[in-house]
Amino acid sequence: MHMADALVSPVVGGTMWLAACGLIGHSVRRIEASAKDHLVPLMGVLGAFVFTAQMINFTIPGTGSSGHLGGGLLLAALLGPHAALLVIASVLTVQALFFADGGLLALGCNIVNLGFFPAYVAYPWVYRVIVRGRYGAMRGSVAALAASVLGLQLGALSVVLQTQASGIAELPFGAFAALMLPIHLAIGVVEGCVTAAVVAFVARARPEVLPVADAEPVRSLRPVLAALLIAAALTGGLLSGWASSLPDGLEWAIARLSGTEEVSALRGTWHARLSAVQERTAVMPDYAFRQTPLSARPDGSDGASAESTTARADAPSALPLGTSVAGVVGGAVTLLVISWLGFVFRKWPRAV
Amino acid sequence: MPSVIEIKDASYVYPDGTQALHAVSLCVEAGEAVALVGANGAGKSTLLLHMNGTLLATQGEVRVAGVEVSRLTLSHARRTVGMVFQDPDDQLFMPTVEEDVAFGPRHAGMAQDDVERRTHEALARVGMSHLRMRPPYRLSAGEKRAVAIATVLAMAPGVLVMDEPSSNLDPRGRRRLIAQLRSFEHARVIATHDLELVVEVCTRVIVLDGGRVVAQGPVRELLNDEARMLAHGLERPHILRHQHPH
Amino acid sequence: MAFPMAVERWLDVARMDELARQGTPVHRIDARAQTVTTLLFIGVVMSFARDELSALMPFFIYPVALMSAGRIPAASLLRKLAVAMPFAVAVGLLNPVFDTRPALALGPLHVSSGWLSFLSIMLRCLLTVSAALLLVACTGMQRLCEGLVRLGVPRVFAVQLLFLYRYLFLLADEGRRMTRGIELRSPGVRGVRFRVYVSLIGHLLLRAMARAERIYHAMQARGFDGRIRLQFTSPLRLADPLFVGGWTLFFAVARVWNLAEALGALLMKGVG
């Protein structure tokens, strides 16, 4: 369920980064306030444990498919919500940096989806309410199942909302939700079963490591929760409108700054990718292939010629085909040049 | 001058109710090398953890350089007693060898210059200066062990306490370790199953069995007592058979 | 096989660390400068309109330059990219299905805007993921975490990253040994049965917790008091602001003007 960089717009990614920063800051403060020194190595090692556990699969009976542990709820059950959030965030960060799971822009989304919901929603408001420090088979299973399912459903819903608000993927909201939620219902059930079984295992082998009833208050989480809800509402509601109707936030902002109204004229057409700003300022905007005058200057013309072409291309007859061909040719040549530069760079440091 | 470590009638009961030590008494004098031997589960590791206050005796007392170890004197005990744990991976937790060796001095609040000097000296002492920038998990077992010792040396302790220092080492690594252990001027307490190492490094042996000290004395005398060694789950080391055919 | 891609993955992580310890000019750039530039790069790349293609092309110079000057082999990056792409591909592939408006005609070939945006998603994925991977490959976990702390990331979080990273290999190794034991006794079975799995994970967890306790003891033995002190030695050099500034300038130029299209137009004009 890792959100990918390529599907997140900077506005959504940035908003979620802020939310994630807030969450990490909050959890760090709570951990420091708790003064539990032993958490430092414990959190680190359990992060590594979650990594390892995620790579071990088991067969799901009767389906031929396999499942593995996600670990969010298990961490919360073992460490409490604050340390769990920090561990999950660190796991996601390492995954983004080393394994290219998710990505850096989407990291905030992933920390919210996979960390906030299990640790700060499902754990305190479902798991702990049901378990109350007693790890009986029935009670533990129900709690883990309910909490996992809720955590993962919220996470999946959040993925859908973030994707939607980003407006990069075309998937209609309903279809995407209809795809994601049932899948994550199944994943949630599996996760719940594993979490319950592993907690029961630990409760048998070393009961003293499990937190006892109501060790930590949850009330102070409200401000964070409120902030997050607001952030989510902002992203989901307000920004999705902009994101889907405008080429993108940055261009929109630039257009606003430069006082152009052309953005709205272009909106929704296949012209959309050419922002007004680009047309105004481009060295060679919207260059029309077929309109090239026969008297065009010979190859290798310089900036002066570019300017005169710009003037001609301002004519409304500029054809999109020209643009696209120029884009394709230019793109290909750019890549070639860059790969060549790559070889040059590779030689260069050896001389240093 | 007081003994560097003096334990009097120390008993320890784990939180789950297992009694690991029964009225253990022993002394370690400055500069001597003492071996702690005994079968698995005899209480060696538990006893070692008392020497720097990681565990506090439920009864009896532990004195380090004359100061009784309690919650209030933990930092004194930890500065005086350098503990080398059995698994170097537990001890080397920082991202590079250098950071790891610098951890102790830095947490003792030393100035950066002193930290660097101590780090370099400690690494040079165990011959691992060339690994300075390496991450610990990329080292061989022998290198890890040497660096683990360096992390403790950097704190300039009066006593080195080691749990199974020769475990997992190949013969060359073990030879190097033995040579190093012999060269140290610190008091040394070495818990080990490696009786050949004991013969080469230590002058005195303490035998633990079932959480009690069942024998102590000079190495050659005690380890040659085959009947007694067998009775406590140990054996008479081969090296002594060849050297002293009684 | 209960441990499918684990082995290559670990080798790769170790490899990244190896790469990060090279001494190329890129590796000498401060971790803060590299982090900031990477984030900026990703932000700018993602800020393009969703079906932008040609304007993204010039941005490849950033990963290519880092890769070449930092002597990071392309093969190891591409392998990781292959692992990273599926989710973006899966979701992006639906774009051509849902968005069939014609957008581009190259002679007889008509391309819908859905395909354009799909290709654009793939390009962004390539760009952003390789930038993130290169950040680690050019700095390494330790320098990166130091940089993060100096950029204002809470120390507790940076230390958490370092500890997690330190014990990844060790626990993965434990996990591998345990699963190998099970595999040897149940050949040809993919994954393990649930009950075996739970006891496997449970034991792994207990071992991890016991290890954490031993590490804690070792830390206490050397004076740990709840706060890890990290030493920052590397001062900023002139090259660092130049690195950030130069790239920022380039990103800004390439963001405002479509350099690739301009180049194409220039060439076409020459031909025409």
CB C65 within 8 A of CB C34: no
**Distance, CA of A313 to CA of B151 (rounded, Å):** 71
Q: A228 and A325, same structural domain?
A: no
In a domain, A271, yes or no: no
pLDDT of residue A111: 93
Q: Could you tell me which residues are beta bridge partners of residue B213?
A: B208
Write out the residues of chain B at the interface with chain C, using a CB-CB cutoff of 8 A: 49, 52, 54, 75, 78-79, 82-83, 85, 87, 89-91, 93-96, 99, 102-104, 106-108, 112, 115, 133, 135-138, 151-152, 155
In a domain, C200, yes or no: no
Average pLDDT of chain C is 82
pLDDT of residue A349: 47
Q: What is the average pLDDT across C211-240?
A: 84
Q: Which residues of A touch C9 (CB under 8 A)?
A: 55, 99
Nearest to C166 among B79, B95, B108 (CB): B95
Answer yes or no: is pLDDT of A89 > 90: yes
Q: Which one-letter DSSP state was computed for residue C176?
A: H
pLDDT of residue A295: 38
Q: Which residue of A has its CA nearest to C24?
A: A349
CB B205 within 8 A of CB B34: yes
pLDDT of residue A212: 57
The angle, 0 to 180 degrees and rounded to 10, between the axes of the packed helices B141-153 and B112-125 is 140
Answer yes or no: is pLDDT of A298 > 50: no
Sign of the four-CA dihedral A38, A40, A43, A44: negative
Q: A154 and A44, same structural domain?
A: yes
In a domain, A119, yes or no: yes
Per-residue model confidence as pLDDT tens digits over C124-175: 888 888 898 899 889 888 889 989 998 889 999 999 999 998 898 888 888 8
Q: What is the average pLDDT across B164-192?
A: 92
User: What is the bridge-based pairing of β-strands B187-191 and B159-163?
Assistant: parallel
- Determine the distance in angstroms separating the CA of B231 from the nearest CA of chain A, rounded to an integer: 33
In a domain, A139, yes or no: yes
Q: A74 and A9, same structural domain?
A: yes
pLDDT of residue C106: 66
B109-to-B104, B118, C224 alpha-carbon distances in Å: 9, 13, 11
**Distance, CA of A325 to CA of A346 (rounded, Å):** 32
Strand, coil or helix: C248: helix
- Both tokens assigned to A175: 């279809």
Average pLDDT of chain A is 70
pLDDT of residue A128: 87
Give the lowest-confidence range in A65-69, A150-154, C2-6, C37-41: C2-6
Task: Tell me, yes or no, if the pTM score tops 0.90.
Answer: no
Q: A227 and A285, same structural domain?
A: no
- Both tokens assigned to A345: 């760079």
**Distance, CA of A49 to CA of C204 (rounded, Å):** 7
A107-to-A166, A183, B139, C10 alpha-carbon distances in Å: 14, 22, 32, 21
pLDDT tier at A228, thresholds 50, 70, 90: low
**Distance, CA of B91 to CA of C222 (rounded, Å):** 10
The angle, 0 to 180 degrees and rounded to 10, between the axes of the packed helices C239-256 and C31-46 is 0
- Residues counted in chain A: 352
Q: Which residue of B has its CA nearest to A44?
A: B93
Interface size between B and C, measured as CB pairs under 8 A: 76
In a domain, A249, yes or no: no
Among residues 72-101 of chain B, which lie with CB inside 8 Å of chain A?
Answer: 93
Domain that holds residue A314: 279-351
Per-residue model confidence as pLDDT tens digits over B117-176: 999 999 999 999 999 888 888 889 999 999 999 999 999 999 999 999 998 899 999 999
Among residues 24-43 of chain A, which lie with CB inside 8 Å of chain B?
Answer: 41
Q: Touching check for A170 and chain B: CB below 8 Å?
A: no
In a domain, A130, yes or no: yes
pLDDT tier at A294, thresholds 50, 70, 90: very low
Answer yes or no: is pLDDT of C76 > 80: no
Interface partners of A (3+ CB pairs, < 8 Å)?
Answer: B, C
The answer to whether the complex's ipTM is over 0.85 is yes
Task: Provide the percentage of residues in chain B whose pLDDT is more than 70.
Answer: 98
pLDDT of residue C232: 67
Domain that holds residue C12: 3-151+237-260
Contact criterion met (CB < 8 Å) for A99 and C83: yes
In a domain, A149, yes or no: yes
Q: What is the average pLDDT across C29-56?
A: 88
For residue B52, the tally of other CB atoms under 10 A from its CB is 27
Answer yes or no: is pLDDT of C264 > 70: yes
pLDDT of residue A276: 39
Contact criterion met (CB < 8 Å) for B106 and C231: yes
Strand, coil or helix: C230: coil
pLDDT of residue B209: 92
Q: A285 and A213, same structural domain?
A: no
pLDDT of residue C255: 87
In a domain, C198, yes or no: no
Question: Any idea of the CA torsion for B93, B95, B100, B106, to the nearest 10 degrees?
Answer: -110
In a domain, C161, yes or no: no
Instruction: Report how many domains make up chain C.
Output: 1
In a domain, C19, yes or no: yes
Q: What is the average pLDDT across A104-125?
A: 91
- Determine the distance in angstroms separating the CA of A124 from the nearest CA of chain C, rounded to an integer: 22
pLDDT tier at C116, thresholds 50, 70, 90: confident
Q: A85 and A183, same structural domain?
A: yes
The residue out of A222, A243, A264 marking a domain boundary is A243
Per-residue model confidence as pLDDT tens digits over A134-155: 767 788 888 999 999 999 999 9
Q: Which one-letter DSSP state was computed for residue B6?
A: E
Answer yes or no: is pLDDT of B177 > 90: yes
Which tops the pLDDT comparison, B141 or A219? Answer: B141
Nearest to B15 among A41, A44, A208 (CB): A208
b/e per residue, A99-129, with b = 16+ CB within 10 A? bbbbbbbbbbbbbbbbbbbbbbbbbbebbbe
Per-residue model confidence as pLDDT tens digits over C8-24: 565 566 677 778 888 88
Task: Provide the percentage of residues in chain C whose pLDDT is more than 70.
Answer: 88
CA A235 to chain centre: 13
Instruction: Report how many domains make up chain A.
Output: 2
Amino acid at A175: A
Which tops the pLDDT comparison, A224 or A72? Answer: A72
CA A50 to chain centre: 20
pLDDT of residue C261: 80
pLDDT of residue A62: 63
CB within 8 A of C243, min separation 6: which ones?
Answer: C29, C33, C34, C37
CATH number reported for the structural domain that contains residue A154 in this entry: 1.10.1760.20
In a domain, C53, yes or no: yes
Q: A176 and A62, same structural domain?
A: yes
Q: What is the average pLDDT across A163-179?
A: 81
Answer yes or no: is pLDDT of C187 > 50: yes
